[in-house]
Amino acid sequence: MQRVLFHQTIFGPIHSRRLGASLGVNLSPTDGKVCSFDCLYCEAGYNAQGPGTSGLPSRETVASQLEEKLRTMSAEGAALDVITFSGNGEPTMHPDFAGIIDDTIALRDKYYPEVKISVLTNSTRLYKDDVAKALRRVDNNIMKLDSANGHTVALLDRPVDKRYRVDDIIEQIAGFGREGIVQTMITRGVHNGIAVDNTTEEEIAGLIAAYKKIMPREVMIYTIDRKTPEQSLQRVSLDELKSIADRITRETGLTVQVSG
Ligand code: SF4
């Protein structure tokens, strides 16, 4: 089954379509995946493929490895745009997420004060006070919302906690207002004989209504880039993405970044 893991806690820098020269921080295991979603398109594979054996890196390990990397890069004069929390799962599930953000801000200020800190989150832990406060301290909190329809989220993102309610998540993202960035995967396919499609009129209208409620700093829409565990998922054309982006901007006034 398709799976590509980051085998380090600090990885890169890599060139990201959305973020530029990005030094990655993986708060998940280095030989498995831990996430509160189980997206059909997850490059780290399905949750059933296992969390591995390495466990989560400690706060101390993250800080020391990040410092080592930043010190070396700075001494070499290496370019860096952003430190990005992503990796093999959901970073906000780490029990020391807030403390790790504090350490990262201090190290960024010491070695690369102009560099941004981004967190890619699936938005399932925004209800936690410490997580929400930590996200407010970073430059770019990039929160996933793939559909405003709970049925579609259940098919595409497959929340592990069955109490997940997309309306609650939209409320929580809206609490960030202009401090937040919303990221939406646009795709369609079939899984276990059931169509999954967030490009329909109903889906796009639902997303636009949610974006209007949230009014984030920016919306990012993107599509499948690499092989996915559910291989029927399609890469949507750049023209279609641009036309969706134009409609979002027309109806909400929001800036929409497209990566196709
Ligand atoms: S939220 Fe991200 S890490 Fe989690 S399953 Fe989805 S794509 Fe994978």
pLDDT greater than 90 at residue 20: no
Q: Identify the residue whose C-alpha is closest to ligand 1 atom 7.
A: 42
Judge whether 28 and 88 are in contact, CB under 8 Å: yes
Q: What is the pTM of this model?
A: 0.96
What percent of the chain has pLDDT above 70?
A: 98
Q: Read off the pLDDT of each residue in 243-256 and give the average, rounded to a whole number.
A: 98
Mean pLDDT score, 78-99:
97
Verify cis geometry, omega within 30 degrees of 0, for the bond prior to 13.
Answer: yes
Q: What is the model's pLDDT at position 18?
A: 65
Rounded to whole angstroms, the Cα distance separating 39 from 201 reads 22
Question: Among 37, 88, 121, which is best to mutate for testing ligand 1, by the most ligand atoms less than 8 A from CB?
Answer: 37
Q: Out of 41, 42, 93, give the residue to mutate to test ligand 1, the one with the largest number of ligand atoms within 8 Å of its CB.
A: 42
* Distance between CA atoms of residues 91 and 150, nearest Å: 23
Give residue 198's pLDDT. 98
Separation between Cα atoms, residue 163 and residue 104, nearest integer Å: 32
Full DSSP string of 60-121: HHHHHHHHHHHHHHHHHT----EEEEESSB-GGGSTTHHHHHHHHHHHHHHH-TT-EEEEEE
pLDDT of residue 259: 85
Task: Give me the pLDDT at residue 2, please.
Answer: 83
Domain spans of the chain?
10-259
pLDDT digits (tens, 9 = 90+) for 146-174: 999 999 999 999 999 999 999 999 999 99
Express each pLDDT in 227-238 by its tens digit: 999 999 999 999
Separation of CA 4 and ligand 1 centre (Å): 12
Give the atom of ligand 1 at the shortest distance from the alpha carbon of 41.
Answer: 7
Q: What is the pLDDT of residue 17?
A: 65
Tell me, what's the pLDDT at 1?
74
pLDDT digits (tens, 9 = 90+) for 193-239: 999 999 999 999 999 999 999 999 999 999 999 999 999 999 999 99
Q: Which residues line ligand 1 (CB under 6 A)?
A: 35, 37-39, 42, 44, 89-90, 122
Give pLDDT tens digits for 123-148: 999 999 999 999 999 999 999 999 99
Determine the pLDDT at residue 78. 95
> pLDDT tens for residues 62-71?
999 999 999 9
Q: Would you state the CATH architecture of domain 10-259? A: Alpha-Beta Barrel (3.20)
What's the mean pLDDT when you consider all of the chain?
96
